[in-house]
């Protein structure tokens, strides 16, 4: 049969609709110029570039695998916590998960909502994301004249959250709010050398000191990712200049062997103590050195060389082994004798992920790369053991690690010395000290005691498991992350959310009336990314700020390099 459509000419012209149709279809496949959310490009996916993102038109991938099923369970946990927050604490900062009430502990602007935006986007909760936008659009970041916004927390949580949600969704209003807030916080830099003051009133610009007149290293060096990205998006020079001035101070500071102290003098910008640490006073400063270099397309060599210095100081001076199980841990040192405190904080469990990220990106020698990875894996093992040792399945917030007997020097457990001795012996067993398989121990038999036995829903251990899984593809980290999630579900779930715990030693553990916003921003996000079968937020395109808000890696244009004197 020779059927010919009557309305098409029989000549070659009849192919025109087909050709045009195919061209149109292929055009829809062109990548939109945003960093990919997914590790693998998928046909048909386009970032919503208009004001109203549409739901994704396809079912979740790999629904059949056990890991995707587990990722869905994490999403369920997020929805449980977020719904409880909306029901009992909307427009306030955090939910009180036992009394079903609210608390305003970070400026009262609705912190948990802002910190949940990117998590919702990543978990494909588009409707909840859209519902939050009118509330954000309304935000004015006002404060009564007697109250002050803590600079560090406001930057990493609010500013980081808004910028991340903007970069994922392309919603311009989120950038406008980030720009508002970024500008309102600038008076914090009006100090003799530009080190940020502890807190600022966003309306009057008045500033206030914290409990100490000195500046913590973490507070001075944990605003560069946010402000540099904001400078890149807005072209506002002052954003870049204020935060880079602090980097210049660090590059010129007289600091021995890369051991940047935890406190700095506001009036002279000189070291104010001789403590070197990766704990609470310093943690994210180490992180932002490496991550600034990564975020700006590996263009800022100043940041890179500062990280290389601080990381080798950590490895050479802060890593110790316990005598019994040979647990590798990181502590802090002080004084001219560099005396170790043997205190190990849960907060420091971010370090294995950071070291692994550095080992995979920095120009290190093969030996150094291996040393950084050994340190990363050994430390993450210890973080895991401090969870597995306890009946609740969760780890204490702060520990004192056992010292070596008859060791007046205090240095006998130093890890690098043990690694050197092991190498001299010909590397017996092929596994360096601190990385052997480790058995769990009951109370009273452990090589550490809890200094603070609480569990605060903190992210650092699962953050490192997530990064190590991404970088090594060793399933052990996923298995451990799953065990942590099961313990969180069993021990911390309440009718309206999840609660911190008074003690990890027993099960059921005693609950406390608090659900920090970082549980929504960080802990559940990292668990979701750890289990998801899609490689969401691939590390070659995104950098997580210290509150787990991903920012897209970008490159400075030539005109920006000239404008900001970047070389
Ligand atoms: C925004 O603010 C206005 C004025 O205060 C208020 O009437 C409105 O309900 C707010 N909208 C949202 C979504 O919070
Ligand atoms: C995976 O990691 C665990 C914990 O560090 C280690 O014991 C195991 O040997 C690793 N497996 C592989 C295949 O490297």
| Domains along the chain with CATH numbers | 40-564 (1.50.10.10)
- Residue 460 falls in the annotated catalytic set: yes
137 alpha carbon – ligand 1 mean position (Å): 9
Determine whether the annotation assigns residue 449 to a binding site.
no
What is the β-pairing status of strands 94-96 and 319-321?
unpaired
Rounded distance between C-alpha atoms, residue 188 and residue 205, angstroms: 8
Ligand nearest, relative to CA of residue 138: 1
- Atom 1 of ligand 1 has which residue's CA nearest to it? 138
348 alpha carbon – ligand 2 mean position (Å): 21
72, 124, 147, 153: the active-site residue: 153
Phi, then psi, of 455 in degrees rounded to 5: -120, 120
- Residue 182 CA to chain centroid, in angstroms? 20
Closest atom of ligand 2 relative to the 380 alpha carbon: 5
Taking the alpha carbons of 430, 432, 434, 435 in that order, is the dihedral positive or negative?
negative
Which parts of 370-454 are beta strand (E)?
398-401, 448-452
- Residue 157 falls in the annotated catalytic set: yes
Rounded distance between C-alpha atoms, residue 20 and residue 414, angstroms: 69
- Residue pLDDT tens, the chain, 567 long: 444 444 545 566 677 777 777 766 666 565 445 677 776 443 333 333 333 444 444 455 555 799 999 999 999 999 999 999 999 999 999 999 999 999 999 999 999 999 999 999 999 999 999 999 999 999 999 999 999 999 999 999 999 999 999 999 999 999 999 999 999 999 999 999 999 999 999 999 999 998 889 999 999 999 999 999 999 999 999 999 999 999 999 999 999 899 999 999 999 999 999 999 999 999 999 999 999 999 999 999 999 999 999 999 999 999 999 999 999 999 999 988 899 999 999 999 999 999 999 999 999 999 999 999 999 999 999 999 999 999 999 999 999 999 987 666 668 999 999 999 999 999 999 999 999 878 999 999 999 999 999 999 999 999 999 999 999 999 999 999 999 999 999 999 999 999 999 999 999 999 999 999 999 999 999 999 999 998 999 999 999 999 999 999 999 999 999 999 987
Cβ(138) – ligand 1 distance below 6 Å: yes
- Atom 6 of ligand 1 has which residue's CA nearest to it? 138
- Residue 153 falls in the annotated catalytic set: yes
- Atom 3 of ligand 2 has which residue's CA nearest to it? 476
Helices (H), 101-208: 111-122, 126-137, 151-153, 160-169, 172-184
For residues 110 and 93, the answer to whether their CB atoms sit within 8 Å is yes
283, 287, 300, 389: the active-site residue: 283
- Atom 5 of ligand 1 has which residue's CA nearest to it? 138
70, 115, 157, 214: the active-site residue: 157
Cβ(137) – ligand 1 distance below 6 Å: no
């Amino acid at each position: 049969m020779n059927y010919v459509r009557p309305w098409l000419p029989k000549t070659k012209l009849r192919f025109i609709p087909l050709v045009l149709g195919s061209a149109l279809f292929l055009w829809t496949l062109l990548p939109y110029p945003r960093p990919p959310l997914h590790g693998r490009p998928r046909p048909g996916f386009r970032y919503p570039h208009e004001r109203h993102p549409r739901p994704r038109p396809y079912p979740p991938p790999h629904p059949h695998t056990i890991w995707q099923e587990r990722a869905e369970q994490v999403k369920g946990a997020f929805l449980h916590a977020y719904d409880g927050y909306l029901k009992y604490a909307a427009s306030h900062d955090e939910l009180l998960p036992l009394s079903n009430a609210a608390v305003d502990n970070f400026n009262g602007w609705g912190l948990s909502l802002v910190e949940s935006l990117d998590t919702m986007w990543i978990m494909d909760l588009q409707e909840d994301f859209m519902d939050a936008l009118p509330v954000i659009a309304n935000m004015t970041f006002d404060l009564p004249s007697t109250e002050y916004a803590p600079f560090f927390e406001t930057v990493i949580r609010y500013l980081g959250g808004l910028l991340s949600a903007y970069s994922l969704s392309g919603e311009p209003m989120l950038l406008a709010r980030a720009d508002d807030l970024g500008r309102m916080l600038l008076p914090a830099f009006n100090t003799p050398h530009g080190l940020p003051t502890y807190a600022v009133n966003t309306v009057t610009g008045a500033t206030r000191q914290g409990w100490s007149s000195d500046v913590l290293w973490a507070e001075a060096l944990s605003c560069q990712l946010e402000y540099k990205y904001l400078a890149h998006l807005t072209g506002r020079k002052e954003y870049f200049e204020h935060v880079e001035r602090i980097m210049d101070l660090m590059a010129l500071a007289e600091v021995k062997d890369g051991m940047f102290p935890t406190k700095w003098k506001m009036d002279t910008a000189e070291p104010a103590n001789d403590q070197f640490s990766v704990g609470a006073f310093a943690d994210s400063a180490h992180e932002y050195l490496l991550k600034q270099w990564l975020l700006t397309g590996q263009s800022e060599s100043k940041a890179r060389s500062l990280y290389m210095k601080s990381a080798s100081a950590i490895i050479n001076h802060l890593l110790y082994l316990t005598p019994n199980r040979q647990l590798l841990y990181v502590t802090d040192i002080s004084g001219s004798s560099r005396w170790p405190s043997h205190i190990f904080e849960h907060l420091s469990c971010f370090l294995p992920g950071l070291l692994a990220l550095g080992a995979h990106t920095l120009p290190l020698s093969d030996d150094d790369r291996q040393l950084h990875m050994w340190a990363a894996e050994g430390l993450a093992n210890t973080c895991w053991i401090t969870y597995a040792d306890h009946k609740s399945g969760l780890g204490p917030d702060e520990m004192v690690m056992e010292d070596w007997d008859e060791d007046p020097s205090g240095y006998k457990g130093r890890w690098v010395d043990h690694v050197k001795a092991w190498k001299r012996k010909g590397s017996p067993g092929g596994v360096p000290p601190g990385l052997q398989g480790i058995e769990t121990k009951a109370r009273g038999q452990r090589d550490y005691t809890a200094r603070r036995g609480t569990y605060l829903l903190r992210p650092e251990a699962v953050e490192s498991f997530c990064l190590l899984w991404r970088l090594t593809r060793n399933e052990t980290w996923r298995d451990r992350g799953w065990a942590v999630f099961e313990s969180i579900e069993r021990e911390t779930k309440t009718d309206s959310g999840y609660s911190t715990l008074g003690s990890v030693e027993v099960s059921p553990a005693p609950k406390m009336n608090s659900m920090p916003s970082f549980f929504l921003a960080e802990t559940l996000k990292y668990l979701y990314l750890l289990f998801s079968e899609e490689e969401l937020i691939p590390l070659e395109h995104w950098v997580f700020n210290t509150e787990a808000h991903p920012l897209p890696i970008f490159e400075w244009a030539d005109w920006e390099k000239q404008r900001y004197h970047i070389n």
